[in-house]
Structure 1
Amino acid sequence: MTLLRSVPDGYREAVLFSILALCWGSSFVAIEIGLEYVPPLLFAGARYAIAGAIVFGYAAVASDRLRPVGRAEWAAVAIAGVFVIALYHGLLYLGELYVSGAVAATIVSTAPILTAAFASVLLPEERLAPAGVAGFVLGLVGVIAVVQPTSVGLESNIAVGAVLVFGSAVAFALGGVLVRPLDSALPIETLQAWAMLIGAGVLLGWSILRGESVASVELTREMLLSFGYLTLVSGAFAFFLYFELLERTGATQVVLVSYAEPVVAMGVSWVTLGYLVDSLTLVGLLTILAGFVVIKRTALRSLLRSALEGHSTATS
């Protein structure tokens, strides 16, 4: 990417990681702000219709194929569109009607743990070891610490929102696992573009079934800024960064962005809305992170070793 040419080689991945975490972490707060003026599913669907068109244009330039071929590739884009885009964002936006963006980001950070759990059930070669089961339990304990069911009550709006957001993390994780066995050579840019457009269609159809109307949209400055930021920055631009980081570092480091996102969301919530999370939410985030570390300890150890070796080579 041309914007990274002025950054020393040894720091480019860190810069990409930081910018991506900022884009995606702040999106939870932008959603929270935008939901004051736009129905949730219409909001999400319109965002991904535009972002998907932009990414499709990028795929036309950056990849050698613009159309899935064969049953496996069409299945891959359909699963990604329905689960990773439509169900994930639909449930997330609905959940953020009741919980803050910072809390939502913390709950969503369970997605990598849930991915490992689903993979252990659906993909025999990825069975969780006893330590992995312990990591999964830690993740669930972290969610409970964030929601604090004894203080909010299981029938409260906060509990409803937390369940919806957790459902979004489940959908994201399940979609990611269901795609893995499919024999697809579709370029990642093309797959993401099709997934966004399919997901946008599902979201807009869901919006109609829910009775949402364009007439209920309030065209305020805050709404336009939120929608523009989510579509262009957290949507299209962030996915370009994602493609670049994925190519440079691989999937493990990209997954770690999930644990930087809640920290960014907490900071942005404080700066823009004056919202401070309580200590139990922080404990919950650290517990979720600990669960991920336990599950992915081998991959993280290899990542740390390669990072240290790369740093020593660059400084020698």
Structure 2
Amino acid sequence: MVSRRSLAFGALVSLLFGGNFVAVKAGLSYLPPLLFVAFRFDVAAVALLGYVLVTRSRDDLLPRTRGDLAGILATGVLALGLTNALLFVGQQGASSAVGAILFSLNPILTPVFAALLLRDERLSRRGAVGLLLGLVGVALVVNPDPATIADGGVAKLLLFAAAVAGALGTVLVRRSGGELSSTVRTAWALPFAAALCHTASLRAGESVAGVVWAPAAVAALLYVGVLAGAVAYVVYFGLLDTAGATHTNVVFYAVPLVSTLGGWALLGEAVAPPAAVGFLVVFAGFAVLGSESLSLPAPPAWLAGRRRAGADRLSVTEERTGFESD
């Protein structure tokens, strides 16, 4: 069961993460990709560390168990660091919509890793059907032939790898079973993610001299660092602790729609027909998988009582009609 509160938070995360792809695509015109994501984690780390220092006690801030340390590393190195490094580099060669479609494979890939690594989350037959539909959709989006490999195919593969890293990272965070709150764990993890991306940026030869500090660049950085960073991460990893990896990653179902509309409205992007068909197939996979992942709240008691009364009257009528026909 997923509560109304969880659904509301999930909708918020979908909105923020969907806008993230638009902001990343816009910001890449002004910042090198790895340095961009490193700055994102710098901004998010400052914002979130400041928040937890003010709102949490010292005892709440200190990691105490191996599970706490494992959760911090899984969050910082894999779920945030590697995932976003691959995402930002891959986004250079793909539109906001295509990037979001490929990355939104996260909820389809998550049950696979959960089935292997978590005892309380298993992939059912229906989930397997959803997984296969999603993979077919990805094949349509990526369109893996020699021409597309030469024309943005590598970027699309990097985006797919980001989805794999993100799915595995969230499952490992769930598996760690630490005692830290999700907010504190994320605050500890962000400096690790920033250090990883700064190191990768230096090794790739990127430089601050290559940054163009235009207003659009600053706006994109603030969005991905604060809104789609600190705020979205707190809500997302909080859902991960309460709802589980498979249910939480359902938030990515709506991400392609948000990014597609945002890319169209703000960046003038269009989606090619094969990618549009692929999106529909991926969405079908999401629907099959999500139909067993989400349970809406029960109807009010008065409505449930009326339904039962109606069913009783119907059953009496059916029995009387059947008797008379006999």
TM class by smaller structure: 0.7 to 0.9
- Pick from 80, 83, 97: which aligns with 2:78? 83
Q: What corresponds to 2:37 in structure 1?
A: 44
Q: Which has the larger radius of gyration?
A: 2
C-alpha distance in 2 between matches for 1:273 and 1:136: 31
How far apart are 1:294 and its partner, in Å? Answer: 3.0
For structure 2, list consecutive stretches of 5 or more residues without a partner in the other structure: 305-326
* Secondary structure of the corresponding residue to residue 293 of structure 2: helix
Q: Greater CA deviation, 280-289 or 131-140?
A: 280-289
- Pick from 57, 66, 71: which aligns with 2:66? 71
Matches within 5 A, 1:134-283: 134-150=129-145, 153-242=147-236, 254-283=248-277
Q: Greater CA deviation, 128-137 or 181-190?
A: 128-137
- Per-residue Cα deviation, 1:14-41 (whole angstroms, up to 9, x for no partner): 6654443322111101101111111111
C-alpha distance in 2 between matches for 1:237 and 1:307: 30
Q: What corresponds to 2:322 in structure 1?
A: none
* Secondary structure of the corresponding residue to residue 133 of structure 2: helix
C-alpha distance in 1 between matches for 2:117 and 2:237: 27
- Pick from 104, 111, 118: which aligns with 2:113? 118
Task: Return closer, same or farther for 1:125/1:259 CA change in 2, 3 Å cut-off.
Answer: closer
* Secondary structure of the corresponding residue to residue 292 of structure 2: helix
Does the aligned pair in 2 maintain the 1:87–1:168 contact within 8 Å?
yes
- Per-residue Cα deviation, 1:252-283 (whole angstroms, up to 9, x for no partner): 66433211111011111111111121343333
Task: Return closer, same or farther for 1:228/1:120 CA change in 2, 3 Å cut-off.
Answer: same
Percent identity over the alignment is 37
Q: What corresponds to 2:283 in structure 1?
A: 289
Q: What corresponds to 1:7 in structure 2?
A: none
1:101 partnered with 2:105: no
Does the aligned pair in 2 maintain the 1:52–1:236 contact within 8 Å?
yes
Q: Greater CA deviation, 205-214 or 281-290?
A: 281-290
Task: Return closer, same or farther for 1:32/1:196 CA change in 2, 3 Å cut-off.
Answer: same
Q: How many residues align?
A: 300
Task: Return closer, same or farther for 1:93/1:243 CA change in 2, 3 Å cut-off.
Answer: closer
How far apart are 1:58 and its partner, in Å? Answer: 2.1
Task: Return closer, same or farther for 1:132/1:254 CA change in 2, 3 Å cut-off.
Answer: closer
Q: What corresponds to 2:52 in structure 1?
A: 59
Does the aligned pair in 1 maintain the 2:186–2:234 contact within 8 Å?
no
Does the aligned pair in 1 maintain the 2:174–2:241 contact within 8 Å?
no
* Secondary structure of the corresponding residue to residue 299 of structure 1: coil
How far apart are 1:157 and its partner, in Å? Answer: 3.6
Q: Greater CA deviation, 16-25 or 244-253?
A: 244-253
Does the aligned pair in 2 maintain the 1:120–1:127 contact within 8 Å?
yes
How far apart are 1:120 and its partner, in Å? Answer: 1.8
Runs (4+) off by over 6 Å? 10-14, 243-253, 310-313
Task: Return closer, same or farther for 1:100/1:250 CA change in 2, 3 Å cut-off.
Answer: same
Task: Return closer, same or farther for 1:293/1:55 CA change in 2, 3 Å cut-off.
Answer: same
1:133 partnered with 2:128: yes
Does the aligned pair in 2 maintain the 1:56–1:189 contact within 8 Å?
no
Task: Return closer, same or farther for 1:38/1:239 CA change in 2, 3 Å cut-off.
Answer: same
